[in-house]
């Protein structure tokens, strides 16, 4: 078990969100789409050159910008 940012996670791997390192606004935006501590998340792909990260949460695929994704801490 180790805690890493979403951006460092390997594509195709599953993990559990444990923390969102950001202000109220960021936490609210992410959680409105279902990304919040305790939730299981699958990384589908990451774009090259610090591009967006694609994840699956529940039945939804979400694209998250690199900066935002680096604040989502995942336990893998």
Partner 1 sequence: MIKKVLLMGNPNVGKSVIFSRLTGVKLIASNYPGTTVEFCQGCIGSGAEKIEVVDAPGTYSLEPTSPAEEVAVAMLDRAIAAKDSIVVNVIDATNLERNLNLTLQLLKKDIPVLIALNLWDEAKHIGITIDAESLERKLGIPVVPTVAITGEGINVLVSRLDQARCGEYDFVDDERWHEVGRIVDQVQTIKHKHHTIGERLGDLTIHPWTGIPIALLVVAVLFFIIRLIGEGLISLVTDPFFNNIWAPLMMKLSAVLVPGSFIHKIIIGQLIDGSIDFGQSFGILTTGLYVPFGAVLPYIFAFYLALSVLEDTGYLPRLAVLLDNALHIIGLHGMAIIPMLLACGCNVPGVMATRILETKRERFIAATLMSISIPCMAQTAMIFGLLGKHGLRGLLPVFVTLFAVWLITGNIFRVAVKGESPEIFTEIPPYRLPHLPTMMKKVWMRIYWFTHDAVPFVLLGVFFVNLLYAFGVIPLIGKLVGPLTARVFGLPFEAIGALLIGFFRKDLAVGMLAPLGLNIKQLVIACVMLTMSFPCIATFAVLLKELGVLDMIKAAIVMLASAFFVGGLLNLIL
> Does 21 sit near partner 1 (CB under 8 A)?
no
Q: Judged by CB under 8 A, which stretch of 2-10, 14-22, 24-32 contacts partner 1?
A: 24-32
> Does 60 sit near partner 1 (CB under 8 A)?
yes
> Does 3 sit near partner 1 (CB under 8 A)?
no
Read off the DSSP letter of residue 10.
Answer: P
Contacts 24+ apart (CB under 8 A), 23-29: 26/68, 26/71
CA atoms in the 13 A half-sphere facing the CB of 4: 13
Question: Which residues would be at the binding site for partner 1 (CB under 8 A)?
Answer: 11, 28-29, 31-34, 36, 44-52, 54, 57-68
């Amino acid at each position: 078990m180790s805690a890493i940012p979403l951006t460092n996670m390997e594509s195709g791997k599953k993990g559990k969100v444990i923390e969102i390192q950001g202000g109220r606004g960021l936490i609210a935006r992410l959680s409105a789409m279902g990304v919040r501590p305790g939730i299981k998340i699958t990384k589908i792909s990451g774009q090259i050159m610090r591009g967006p990260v694609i994840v699956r949460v529940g039945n939804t695929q979400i694209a998250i910008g690199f900066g935002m994704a680096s604040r989502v801490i995942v336990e893998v």
